[in-house]
Amino acid sequence: MNLLLQKNNMEFSVKNIATLLNGEIEGNPDLIVSSIAKIEDGKPGDLAFLGNLLYEKYLYKSKASVILINKDFVPSKQVRTTLIRVDNVYQSFATLLETYQKIINQRNGIEQPSFIEQTAKLSENIYIGAFTYISKNVVIGADTKIYPNVFIGDNVTIGKNCIINSGVKIYNSCVIGNDCIIHSNTVIGADGFGFAPQNDLNYKKIPQVGNVVIEDNVEIGSNTCIDRATMGSTYIRKGVKLDNLIQIAHNVEIGENTVIASQSGIAGSSKIGKNCMIGGQCGITGHLTIGDEVKIAAQSGIGSNIKKGEIIQGSPAFSIKDYQKSYVIFKNLPQLYKKFCQLQLEINSLKQSIQEDEK
């Protein structure tokens, strides 16, 4: 895609955008856009998109220069804005954002001051930001970008085309696959929470001699902690997406393409299956097995194994349908209690009346 960089803005022609997205232009192919906006907030020079038909009304009055729409969409009114018709608006918009991000993040070389051990192996076309420390025998793949203030411990391997953002700490012997993104201040490979109780009610630290293995195409949010295994490895399988502020304990395994929302915690040695969806603020105790394709609602507490495909909620969690039925009762407890007290008074009154009649 041809670009112009003017006044710190990236500028794209409609023709080039359509080529990138394999789209069809309706309108002026020579228009230039320099920013992206919501369809309802669009102004000249913006590119917007219409995916949800609830926003169709804005298509006819948006001031955006260009709007992406699906090829099979039929407008109910005349559209004055230039359109680019694509097979799938959401996928095309994601592709456009990804391309734009790659362009604005294009950096190469090694900034100073930084420290790189002589035994480290650096591939071509990498970027290492200032104040980064790269330890002994580290291997970094091609096109990987490591932003300032990152620490990488001894014997760490990082694959191709990764982004390691500022402040990340990767402890010794951990393995990062290809096409991974790790956001700021995340810690990979800190010691697992392992302590043996002693006779004097004190605790002795158990050395944590394993590592963390993160497979390809994983994204990890900011301030997330993934502990190294006591022995062996803590595994984050390919395609996993972790939000900010998540705790993954020692020897945990997260299955392929599982997504976990913010502030969730998984205790040691639990195994999470493939294609699971775990909501925010969930807690999963140790040594459990969560089956494939399980869905766990936010703020749930998991204390037992879960079979494949189950959808659960609550703390302790159980079937979401049963939880919803139970919640209907729970939220009505004050009214039910009031009725119970009234019935109790009526029963006592009847008992007293019967006793008086018997006398």
Report which of 183, 177, 143, 134 is spatially closest to residue 157, judged by C-alpha positions.
177
Sign of the dihedral defined by the CA atoms of residues 104, 109, 114, 120, in that order: positive
Interhelix angle 333-358/320-331, nearest 10 degrees: 60
Interhelix angle 14-21/89-104, nearest 10 degrees: 120
Name every residue whose Cβ is closer than 8 Å to that of residue 334 and which is 6 or more positions away in sequence.
none
Name every residue whose Cβ is closer than 8 Å to that of residue 83 and which is 6 or more positions away in sequence.
25, 26, 27, 66, 67, 68, 69
Name every residue whose Cβ is closer than 8 Å to that of residue 65 and which is 6 or more positions away in sequence.
14, 31, 32, 33, 42, 44, 45, 46, 47, 81, 82
- CA atoms of 81 and 58, how far apart (whole Å): 11
- Active-site residues, by number, are 250
Q: Which pairing describes strands 219-220 and 241-242: parallel, antiparallel, or unpaired?
A: parallel
- CA atoms of 344 and 342, how far apart (whole Å): 5
Name every residue whose Cβ is closer than 8 Å to that of residue 57 and which is 6 or more positions away in sequence.
none
Q: How far is CA 157 from CA 180, 214, 279, 340, in A?
A: 12, 10, 31, 66
Q: How far is CA 210 from CA 47, 53, 178, 244, in A?
A: 48, 51, 21, 24
- CA atoms of 297 and 292, how far apart (whole Å): 15
User: Which residues is 105 bridged to in the sheet?
Assistant: none
Q: Alpha helices of the chain — where are they, by DSSP H?
A: 14-21, 56-59, 89-104, 320-331, 333-358
